Structure 1
Amino acid sequence: MANSGTGQTLAADCGLYSVLAEWARTDPDRPVISRKGADGWQDVSCAELAAHVDAVAGVLLDRGVRHGDRVAVLGTTRYEWAVADLAVLSIGAVTVPIYPTASEHQVRHVLGDSGATWSVAEDAAYGDRLRAAGAGEVWSFAEIDAWRDVPADIDRIREPVRADDLATIVYTSGTTGLPKGCMLTHANMYASSANTVRQTDWLFRRASPDDSAPAATLLSLPLSHVFGRTILLSCLIAGTRTGLVAGVPEMLGELPGFRPTFLALVPYALEKIRKRARSVLADDAEAAAVATGLGATGPGGGDDRRADPSHQRVRDLLGGRLGYVICGGASLDDTTWGFYAGVGIEILNCYGLTEAATAVTVNAPATNRFGTVGRPIPGTTVAIADDGEVLVSGDNVSPGYWPAARAQAGTWLHTGDLGELDDDGFLRITGRSKEILVTSGGKNVAPTPLEDRIRLHPLVSNCMLLGDGRSHVTALVTLDAAAAAGWAAERGLGPVDEHLCRDPALLAEIGTAVDAANALVSRAESVRRFRVVARDFTVDAGHLTPSMKLRRAAIAEAYAADVAALYGNEISVA
């Protein structure tokens, strides 16, 4: 069992809005959010943000929204998303985020299950999707932005908000079936965010331990996911200058100009950035960075990390000041951790889940330990059950699923993940109990490390291992359409279709990625056969959750013919 001690808690008679109100009182001119306009980045001060939130809260109250009412929000990460969320929370109403990629069926389920009476949509297209799914009154981001007049009696008509009031219902992107609404209170969200700031020391406040310049970050995580909202709230608690961008593609173009000091990303984004960095790397520089990073003996590395001039070009691509990336949401391949460490950027792996308001453990700059997801944040206790399952307890743990009765305080959250605690209290995630493949020979195989390694190949978009109840492990591999098209054109081959997927040269190329993955495991755990498919796994088709996790059963069903072929005499690599 690992317990990091007492954490920071929200006063019983306060809600999350009190964080912004306190900044507006003590440091009103401090830039806290940045939004991209026609003339570049525009900083919004604490006072300006608080005034805008108060104005929107006043309109919501005038339109009939009351304490406990549910308000759905559908849109990408934008300034208006954050304002709408804070305004809803400030009057004791409940934010119900909806993923922008959600299907009409999923939107209808979230609206109906939560009982959301009102909705906020990014634009007309999103508004139409909400109305088609049965939404009532829908307000746009443009309206949110235009509501600027603060009612004189706002404090009189706004009901008090307490820490144990429900703040949000987040529908978990389950890998099977319809998502469930996870309830999180103001206290849950604050405990997760404030103690993430506390655990990471200076990271959210200063550019570096030796530089008093303020920290800055670009937030591209979806605010519809609790990871994104927890990071945004952490930045608000710490007073971090935070630029909001719709996604990773938009973030990449803004990095050189905004110059963040840290980022929060998921492994999928880090892999995409790593592939893009290859365009500025010298020959063999990527491999050298990985070797240097994995061979470093301590956090931060040494000056030898900056020996290759092309590594500086990678850092310039990322803004020139980026020192750390908080990485969570899924497993990260070791070589990706090593690559970033090798060019002078530390990955701070973390672990959490929606039911714990995202944050359970996180590595800190001063004690970053490779191969782990860090120690529990203050106020959180982690234990390992007899069967290896990770158990969590703390102020960040959800009271239960909507609309069921709230769980009894102090009960353990069963995460479904498998892990180990070392002697210093660092957690290592070894797999997910529901995703472990058990071959017919009784061998347990954790698929994600191999999938992560195969996915690093430039031609590969995604990968899923199979083998549960089978004699051996196989893999479905999808192609990165743009990379594969370029590769094929250079060789005078045809378009990216089923014919290309059977081309011997392509199979040999993908085979090198499979060989690299197999080098990580024993022969019994290795991928014996693989099949390249032209259709990628997508959220819209139901193959991926909105947070990019594999829906394994759905993929196996959609690619049933390919799965059947894998267990014939198709392609063998071992």
Structure 2
Amino acid sequence: MHEFSVAPLVEVGDSETLTDAVYARSLSEPDTTVLAVRERDGWRDVGYGELAGTVLAVARGLLAEGVRAGDRVVVLGPTSLDWVVADLAVLSVGAVTVPVYPTASAEQVRAVLADAEPVACFADPNALPRLDDALGTELVWRLGESFAELASSGEAVCADEVGNRRARVRADDAATIVYTSGTTGEPKGCVLTHRNILAASGNVVALLPELFGWRGRQPTTLLFLPLAHVYGRVVLYGCLGAATRTGLVGNAADLVSELPAFRPTFLVGVPYVLEKIRKAVPDESAVPALLGGRLTHMICGGASLDASTLRFFTRAGLTVLGAYGLTETASTATMSAPTANLPGAAGRPVPGTTIAIGDDGEILVRGPQVSPGYWPDHGTGQEWVPTGDLGVLQDGYLRITGRRKEIIVTSGGKNVAPSLLEDRLRLHPLVANCMVVGEGRPYVSALVTVDPVALRNWAGTAEVDPADPRLLAEIATAVDEANALVSRAESIRRFRVVAGDFTVERGQLTPSLRLRRMVIEKDFAAEIEQLYAS
């Protein structure tokens, strides 16, 4: 087994918790801006003092309502100040946050509630009409709107009691249970401790002084990742601890329009977002102005970034840092740094982490950020976490080569990594998404969805028949470019443009926008059969 380790830059003490930074800085620097929220007339800054005061008031309310240490409390809603307050308040009383995506179906919510058995729920008011029956817990508070009510009931609780609760929380206590179903299967509740998240966020911040110590001034970023995803939470807690002015964006679709005015110094995202920016601004010379003129670095995690997209942003004067992780590693396993950035790689192990490649090529992770297990039968830690991903180590740099479970084996016995073809196909401006198929088939094919905005710009209308010869010819050029990356036996022989797009709401994508292949194969079974009909 080939492995590579990096020594820690930050070690978490046994009594450290995720709420420490906010409360400590509220005393030492109450007026320092830490969050920013979009209001009708612009961005409103929130200092450590205001944030801690609101959190303390809500935490007292939770105690008044009987929330105890170890209890689970659901937080369901988009990225917002209210989400952050609810999360910090839950953690302040020693309880455990159970995040749920606002796009979750009623069935998914019921499954989480049945497994986690929460005592209460904070829910986005906009989601309540759709999910009211599914929530069903006795205590359902409306995110933001119920804070005043909780603060009022909490007046009967001494403020020192929250401090007493916080003092009893230990680093190895559960902080959150993140439900992840991946691309198949029933949701599993991954337990992450205060230590897990602090080790992940603290070591990344220490690794990247170019981002978090921006030219001697306060760094700024826009957080548009969903806080129901651990990636967003780790970014949040890293920024809270590093006094980064963090603008909260509840809808990723609003990101591009907010960038010029907010003027972030760095961004953290996923390849899908960077590819959307590239499609929106085909001329790299226009990128700096679009991004606000101060942005120097972008962290890109979640999947491999195509080499041409990387070159595009490099020519625009930006440094793109690859990263890799999964829920079970608090979203951090490897990270590039400005001084150690190999194009196309996902970086080296985050400080404190060991990466290994098993005999079968699977990536294994060990470190203080590794989850102790799944709810409710979690233990005290795992030696190695199998990721399900395939990769290679080169001088300590990790390259992702595919997913074990996603490898397609054709009837001729050829192993095909679909993500390589899919990532290249998605670079075409007209391609919104795609999925390669061919398990047990004589050749590889693909389902392709079209971006309606790009289609309108290209054809003058979004109402184009999926079988239109001009459209098929244009998509064929993208297929040819993807096929140039692989052997003929691995290449896409046929494709089908399908109406609509793959969506989270229809269960075809995970909340982190990964393909749920089994669902898509079922939904488009007839179209797939036609690809092999002759």
Give the structure 2 partner of residue 176 of structure 1: 184
Q: Is the 8 A contact 2:123 2:143 kept in 1?
A: yes
Amino acid at match of 2:506: A
Amino acid at match of 1:36: R
CA deviation after TM superposition for structure 1 residue 372, in Å = 0.6
Give the structure 2 partner of residue 533 of structure 1: 498
Give the structure 1 partner of residue 161 of structure 2: 156
Give the structure 2 partner of residue 296 of structure 1: none
Q: Is the 8 A contact 2:362 2:388 kept in 1?
A: yes
Instruction: Give the alignment's TM-score, normalised by structure 2.
Output: 0.95
Q: Is the 8 A contact 1:363 1:369 kept in 2?
A: yes
Give the structure 2 partner of residue 304 of structure 1: none
Give the structure 1 partner of residue 96 of structure 2: 94
Q: 2:524, 2:61 → 1: CA distance?
A: 49
CA deviation after TM superposition for structure 1 residue 179, in Å = 1.1
String of CA shifts for 1:103-158, please: whole Å, max 9, x gaps.
11001111111001201112143365144342331111233554667857222354
Distance 1:534 1:410, change over 3 A: closer
Residue in structure 2 matching 1:418, options 377, 383, 390: 390
Q: Is the 8 A contact 1:89 1:167 kept in 2?
A: yes
Q: Is the 8 A contact 1:163 1:186 kept in 2?
A: yes
**What is the correspondence of 1:49-68 to structure 2 with a 5 Å cutoff?**
49-68=51-70
Determine helix, strand or coil for the equivalent of 2:211.
coil
Residue in structure 1 matching 2:4, options 2, 16, 20: 2
Amino acid at match of 2:436: L
Residue in structure 1 matching 2:421, options 428, 445, 450: 450
Runs of 4+ deviating beyond 6 Å: none
Q: 2:487, 2:359 → 1: CA distance?
A: 25
Q: 1:478, 1:243 → 2: CA distance?
A: 32
Q: Is the 8 A contact 1:94 1:166 kept in 2?
A: yes
CA deviation after TM superposition for structure 1 residue 7, in Å = 4.2
Determine helix, strand or coil for the equivalent of 2:240.
helix
Determine helix, strand or coil for the equivalent of 1:176.
coil
Amino acid at match of 2:427: L
Give the structure 2 partner of residue 507 of structure 1: 472
Amino acid at match of 2:189: G
CA deviation after TM superposition for structure 1 residue 24, in Å = 1.9
Q: Is the 8 A contact 2:304 2:344 kept in 1?
A: no
Q: 1:49, 1:162 → 2: CA distance?
A: 23
**What is the correspondence of 1:189-200 to structure 2 with a 5 Å cutoff?**
189-200=197-208
Indicate the RMSD between aligned Cα atoms, in angstroms: 1.7
Q: 1:42, 1:148 → 2: CA distance?
A: 22
CA deviation after TM superposition for structure 1 residue 25, in Å = 2.7
Q: How many residue pairs are counted as aligned between the two chains?
A: 526
Do residues 335 (structure 1) and 308 (structure 2) align?
Answer: yes
* Range 130-139 or range 555-564, more displaced: 130-139
Give the structure 2 partner of residue 285 of structure 1: none
Q: 1:250, 1:144 → 2: CA distance?
A: 26
Distance 1:72 1:93, change over 3 A: same
Give the structure 2 partner of residue 291 of structure 1: none
Give the structure 2 partner of residue 476 of structure 1: 447
Q: Is the 8 A contact 1:200 1:363 kept in 2?
A: no
Q: Is the 8 A contact 1:74 1:126 kept in 2?
A: no
String of CA shifts for 1:401-452, please: whole Å, max 9, x gaps.
111141x5351111111111112x1111111101111222222211112101
**What is the correspondence of 1:84-233 to structure 2 with a 5 Å cutoff?**
84-126=86-128, 128-143=130-145, 146=148, 151=155, 153-156=158-161, 158-159=164-165, 160-206=168-214, 211-233=215-237
**What is the correspondence of 1:308-457 to structure 2 with a 5 Å cutoff?**
311-406=284-379, 409=381, 411-423=383-395, 425-457=396-428
Amino acid at match of 1:559: F
Do residues 549 (structure 1) and 517 (structure 2) align?
Answer: no
Q: Is the 8 A contact 1:443 1:524 kept in 2?
A: yes
Q: 1:95, 1:472 → 2: CA distance?
A: 46
Q: Is the 8 A contact 2:9 2:207 kept in 1?
A: no
String of CA shifts for 1:347-396, please: whole Å, max 9, x gaps.
11100000011011110122211011111111111111111111111110
**What is the correspondence of 1:13-28 to structure 2 with a 5 Å cutoff?**
13-28=15-30
Percent of paired sites with the same residue: 54
Gapped runs of 5+ residues in structure 2?
A: none
Q: Is the 8 A contact 1:175 1:549 kept in 2?
A: yes
Amino acid at match of 1:355: E
Q: Is the 8 A contact 1:6 1:378 kept in 2?
A: yes
Q: 2:401, 2:459 → 1: CA distance?
A: 37
Determine helix, strand or coil for the equivalent of 2:112.
helix
Amino acid at match of 1:482: V
Determine helix, strand or coil for the equivalent of 1:314.
helix
Q: 2:527, 2:268 → 1: CA distance?
A: 36
Instruction: Give the alignment's TM-score, normalised by structure 1.
Output: 0.89
Determine helix, strand or coil for the equivalent of 1:542.
coil
CA deviation after TM superposition for structure 1 residue 481, in Å = 2.3
CA deviation after TM superposition for structure 1 residue 204, in Å = 1.8
Gapped runs of 5+ residues in structure 1?
A: 282-310, 570-574
Residue in structure 2 matching 1:558, options 511, 518, 523: 523
* Range 342-351 or range 475-484, more displaced: 475-484
